[in-house]
Structure 1
Amino acid sequence: MKGPLSSLKVLDFSTLLPGPFASLLLADMGAEVLRVESPTRMDLVRVLPPHVDGVSASHAYLNRNKRSIALDLKRPESLEVVHKLVAQYDIVLEQFRPGVMEKLGLGYEALKAINPRLIYVSITGYGQTGPYKDRAGHDLNYLALAGVASYTGRRDSGPLPLGVQLADIAGGSLHGVIGLLAAVIARQSTGLGQHVDISMTDCAFSLHGMAGAGYLAAGVEPGMENQVLNGGSFYDYYRTRDGRWLSVGSLEPQFMQQFCAVIGRPELAARGLSPKPEEQAALKREIEIEIEKHDLTEWQQRFAAVDACIEPVLSLAEAVQHPQLKARGVVTDVPREGRPAQAQIACPIRFSDGVEPPRHVGSAVGAHSVEVLGELGFSEAQIAELKASKALG
């Protein structure tokens, strides 16, 4: 059970969230991932709280199943090591601003000359081209420029700062993995690798989905609370008597009929189909009044046996204990050397042939430097020389 990607060997030069989340998925599915880290410039996720036994929980999760080699890429001795690695590894994942890897002598063209089968994935905020290619940014900025934030929020309070990093993960990480695997399939036919250019802003823009199609084809501009799915209809969250929240997604008539029957207002069901904003607003007010009459637990009991697309808004602690998520095994125990296993989010992709269980949490910087160099054929004396030159951490 090595996993479907056990034939892939990935050199991961990325830090923070987008690249490491992408390589986490690859590692969980069996790929051999080697992080190439700076011995002097720490990945900031390593110091991100909270910490468990002195180690960032986020780092331990994002970098599980990966090995680490510490190289100062500004030293020529380190470049020689990377060149030897590229001859054996068939994928490079990097997250520097455009041009940085070229300045280090590690750009796509330079490494392709060593290994023509190399697939080189670059994840950046704005891509390798365009006037913003060298501009700094974060998840919030990418969603803002892509137009996503313009209709994700409430009219009276503005755009929502999402609790999950949508552009980083759905944009950078997931699209990065999709592009990488597509290039792997293409290589099976051509025998050659290629450069995959992932812009988190581009990918965030692609997430517009139906609202984007409506604007580009029909000129309908989405705004806050003016779409069926963004608060412009009864499809929304409703506060319960005890200050909790209930999600109501009863869009289809058969679901709406059941929902309205349970809240004791069957006459409201027909109004759910109205396309008029003022009628939807009035319907929402009626639903708000009914939902606020009872606590969340009572609503859960009432809807437990009703298939009407109604679910409670759970805290993360509650979600972990939910019977559906527990049955799916969304949490896994990951071994830690010399300590009890650590609970982490499991790989969400299931394969009938299975995958190897997690091997270890994220490693210390350079934890596998000597091991990796030994595999490349470096002698103990050569490794000592690299350490003495400070090329190797």
Structure 2
Amino acid sequence: MSGPLNGIRVIEIGTLIAAPFAARLLAEFGAEVIKIEAPDDGDPIRKWRKLHQGTSLWWYLQSRNKKSVCVNLKSPDGIAVIKRLVAEADVLIENLRPGALEKLGLGWDVLHELNPKLTMVRISGYGQTGPYRDRPGFGAIGEAMGGIRYTTGEMNGVPARTGISLGDSLASLHAVIGTLMSLLRVKTGQGEGQVVDVSLVESVFNLMESLVPEYDLLGHVRERSGGALPGIAPSNTYPTEDGGFVVIAGNSNPIFKRLMQVIGRPDLAEHPDFQHNDGRAAQCELLDAAIAAWSSRHSMEEVLVALEAAEVPAGRIYSVADIVADPHYQARGMIVPAELPDGTAVKMPGIVPKLSDTPGEVRWQGPTLGEHTQAVLAGLGLSEAEIARLRAEGAVQ
């Protein structure tokens, strides 16, 4: 393996989205990720969304570069295997409900004593403390309570969601950030490992910009605004003559002037009320109407060509078909070829971010259930006879 995280061993005890996505990101940049799965069925995501020959296509993406080890966490011998793995690991990532690992004898106190350099990343709905810690939490609830659902959707309409598991993914990104900061502390000799406590609700809330001070000082509650960006103008979604929609962001002072020239409204470009964002935001409906009147008279191609020439940020709203066909995505390596276990060729997303000297890589797609159990346990020093006994007793699979 190569990559900036080469030599880092990560144990993943998680299912579905938040912890597995965080571990996938680490695996893409060279970490050895050992995914612990329950015998028989494994991670439920193996059966989520669209399937190919009985296995989720999402699974092959979410678990690429990981090793699958089946361990029965209800077995004392299975718990002993986890402890042996943790003793040689740098990171443990989990997204069980708070207290679940403690009931298994795998709480922080136990694992820290076993391996003082271990970073334990804990992702949960509400965090490891507080009055809501024991409530079940999914990403959708994090989006609801974190504030993003309230501000998403058409004005006076029902609060909407994005079509992806946004709350889980935001928690994953915060988990990776916390993991890297803790690893830096350990690897530079500044201290021992620590707990990284990530809440789904707080991960969403962390993106909510100036929501709190606006409410506290001004009594302002930010409401839903459809395709517009509240308080920043003009920035909205506008119709085109051929039935499409284009996002135009003309919200800096010089860009606004250029945009107004393109749409044939130099009077608005020079109007004293619109020289700064606060004045434009106060009359955003007027500006949006002027831009929509122009865009609706032109095709998508004409709109994009004109705005690109004027250096005004704009883009049509892409479907997945648009993404896969786009030459920029392809040039950036964001659509990569892959092969499923049965030999089927399939396109997969590339790796983000792009590192110049130690880029991430895809070494294999999501593994079969328990594919690496034998090899990983042998790497811990267990003999073939010991592994056979654990398998016979149902501790591993």
Same fold (TM over 0.5): yes
Alignment partner, residue 189 of structure 2? 189
CA RMSD of aligned residues (A): 2.3
Q: 1:334-372, CA deviations, whole angstroms, 9 ceiling, x for partnerless residues?
A: 344451453211111122213363111001111111111
The CA deviation at 1:146 is 1.9
Q: Secondary structure at the match of 1:339?
A: coil
Residue 305 (structure 1) aligned with residue 309 (structure 2): yes
* Aligned with residue 390 of structure 2, among 377, 382, 386: 386
Cα distance in 1, alignment partners of residues 306 and 360 from structure 2: 41
Contact 2:68/2:372 (8 A) holds in 1: yes
Shift of 1:39: 0.8
Per the TM alignment, residue 253 of structure 1 is displaced from its structure 2 partner at its CA by: 2.6
Are the structure 2 counterparts of residues 251 and 379 from structure 1 closer, same or farther at C-alpha, using a change threshold of 3 Å? same
Provide the residue aligned with 1:169 in structure 2: 169
Change (3 A) 1:60 1:119: same
| Superposition deviation, residue 106 in structure 1 | 1.3
Contact 2:95 2:122 in 1 (8 A): yes
The match for 1:343 is 347
The whole-number CA distance in structure 2 between the counterparts of 1:156 and 1:103 is 46
Moved more, 272-281 or 291-300: 272-281
Q: Tell me the secondary structure at the aligned position of residue 174 of structure 1.
A: helix
Matches within 5 A, 1:234-249: 234-249=234-249
Unaligned residue ranges in structure 2 (runs of 5+): none
Q: TM-score, normalised by structure 1?
A: 0.92
CA contact (8 A) 2:351 2:361 kept: no
Equivalent residues of 1:36, 1:70 under 8 A apart:
yes
What is the deviation of 1:59?
Answer: 0.6
| Cα-to-partner distance string for 1:280-319 (whole Å, 9 max, x where unaligned) | 2122223222222222122223334231112211212212
Provide the residue aligned with 1:353 in structure 2.
Answer: 357
Identity of aligned residues (%): 33
1:14 aligns with 14
Query: Where does the alignment leave 5 or more consecutive residues of structure 1 unmatched?
Result: none
Matching residue of 2:91: 91
Q: Is the 8 A contact 1:70 1:392 kept in 2?
A: yes
The 1:218–1:189 alpha-carbon spacing in structure 2 relative to 1, beyond 3 Å, is farther
1:56 is displaced (CA, Å) by: 1.0
TM-score, normalized by length of structure 2? 0.92
For 1:332, the equivalent position in structure 2 comes to 336
Q: 1:324 to 1:268 in 2, by over 3 A?
A: farther
- Kindly tell me: are residues 227 and 37 of structure 1, through their superposed partners in 2, closer, same or farther at Cα, counting changes over 3 Å? closer
Whether contact under 8 Å (1:226, 1:277) holds in the other structure is: no
Distance in 2 between the 1:152 and 1:91 partners?
35
Number of the residue aligned with 1:64:
64
Contact 2:61/2:365, CA 8 A, preserved across alignment: yes
- Give the partner amino acid of 1:371: A
Structure 2 distance, partners of 1:213, 1:229, is 18
Q: Is the contact between residue 30 and residue 355 of structure 1 (CA under 8 Å) also seen in structure 2?
A: no
- 1:376 aligned partner: 380
Which segment is superposed worse, 363-372 or 143-152?
A: 143-152
Q: Does the residue aligned with 1:86 lie in a helix, a strand or coil? A: helix
Q: Where in structure 2 are the equivalents of 1:86-235 lying within 5 Å? A: 86-170=86-170, 172-187=171-186, 188-216=188-216, 219-225=219-225, 229-230=229-230, 233-235=233-235
Deviation at 1:226, TM superposition (A): 10
SS in 1 for 2:348: strand
Partner of 2:300: 296
Alpha-carbon distance between aligned partners in 2 of 1:243 and 1:14, rounded to the nearest angstrom? 44
Task: Figure out how many residues of one structure are paired with residues of the other and give that number.
Answer: 392
Q: Say whether the 8 Å CA contact 1:78–1:391 is kept in structure 2.
A: yes
Instruction: Provide Cα deviations, 1:110-167, integer angstroms capped at 9, x if missing partner.
Output: 1112111111110011101112111123223212212222222222313221123332
Cα separation, 2, equivalents of 1:275 and 1:126? 39
Query: For the residues of structure 1 that align with 2:356 and 2:39, how far apart are their CA atoms?
Result: 40
Counterpart Cα distance in 1 of 2:91 and 2:41: 23
Task: Map 1:20-31; keep pairs closer than 5 Å.
Answer: 20-31=20-31
Residue 61 of structure 1, CA deviation: 0.2
> In structure 1, how many angstroms separate the alpha carbons of the residues matched to 2:164 and 2:316?
19
* Poorly superposed stretches of 4+, deviation over 4 Å: 216-219, 271-274
